[in-house]
Amino acid sequence: MAGNWKMYKTPADTHAFFEAFKPLVADAKNVDIVLCPPFADLHAAITETANSGIAVGAQNLYWGKEGAVTGEVSGHMLQAIGCQYVIIAHSERRQYFGESEPDVVRKIEAALEYGLTPIVCVGERLEEREEGRTEEVLATMFDGGLAPLAAEQFAKVVIAYEPVWAIGTGKTATPEIAEAAHRFIRGKVAEKFGADAAAAVRILYGGSVKPDNVTKLMSEEDIDGALVGGASLDPKSFAAIVNF
């Protein structure tokens, strides 16, 4: 269960969040919990989560170890401060920052080089779904962003299916719609990397996941977890999702 705070919260807010959140998930079992705050809050989040079993991730990284790349942060730096995960290719980054499939591959490789688990987002926009092109879009993203990886690299990747029309809109995909997309993605993994890789890969659903819809989504066979935006900002609601 991963939370994406996007561009919300200060370090003081981050301390307050974890003070409230940690006791609420202290008994959570059989679940990996990840919070991905903005870069400015990573230090606070990592300090707060020490020895708690809660992992911290970034929301983006740049490939390369260091260099003249003003405004960017490398996997090397994220590893050095104690990050364990990084979100790659969130639809907001694809839309506002023009991230392309070759960028996605470079970022995944950079994450893996520095021991970070990439959470790689794929998903169709509303017009693409309405035109009946969902599988075509998912296939293009898979073929361009994930299929070029070596099998050993792919084995360390988490995929997040996030239909863009469901992000921040309150319109959750029905469990059936989400399951169909997850099954399609798992099928692509099986074609490229084999049945064992397809069975092992974790595919998270993201798009208006809330405490009241998580249980139904999670009951689908191919939905292995959730990537949660808005509802991860509140300790009680994210804890309710973790503890579903």
**Residues with catalytic annotation?**
90, 162
90 with 59: CB under 8 angstroms?
Answer: yes
Q: How many residues can be counted in the chain? A: 244
> Is residue 84 at the binding interface for ligand PEP, with CB under 6 A as the rule?
no
Residue whose C-beta lies closest to ligand PEP? 229
Q: How far is the CB of 162 from ligand PEP (least distance, A)?
A: 5
Does position 37 bind ligand PEP by CB under 6 A? Answer: no
Three-class DSSP category at 115? coil
Among 83, 108, 227, 241, contact with ligand PEP (rule: CB under 6 A):
227
In angstroms, the CA 149 to CA 27 distance is 36
Q: Which of 149, 244, 129 is nearest to 201 (CA)?
A: 149
Specify the stretch interacting with ligand PEP by CB under 6 A; choose among 98-106, 109-117, 213-221, 222-230: 222-230
Nearer to ligand PEP, 201 or 209 (CB): 209
User: Is the Cβ of residue 190 or residue 218 nearer to ligand PEP in the bound state?
Assistant: 218
In angstroms, rounded to a whole number, what is the distance separating the alpha carbons of residues 197 and 222? 13
Q: What is the DSSP string of 120-136?
A: EEE---HHHHHTT-HHH
d(Cα 124, Cα 181) in Å, to the nearest integer?
10
Of residues 168 and 194, the one with the C-beta less far from ligand PEP: 168
Residues that bind ligand PEP (CB under 6 A): 4, 6, 90, 162, 167-168, 206-209, 227-231
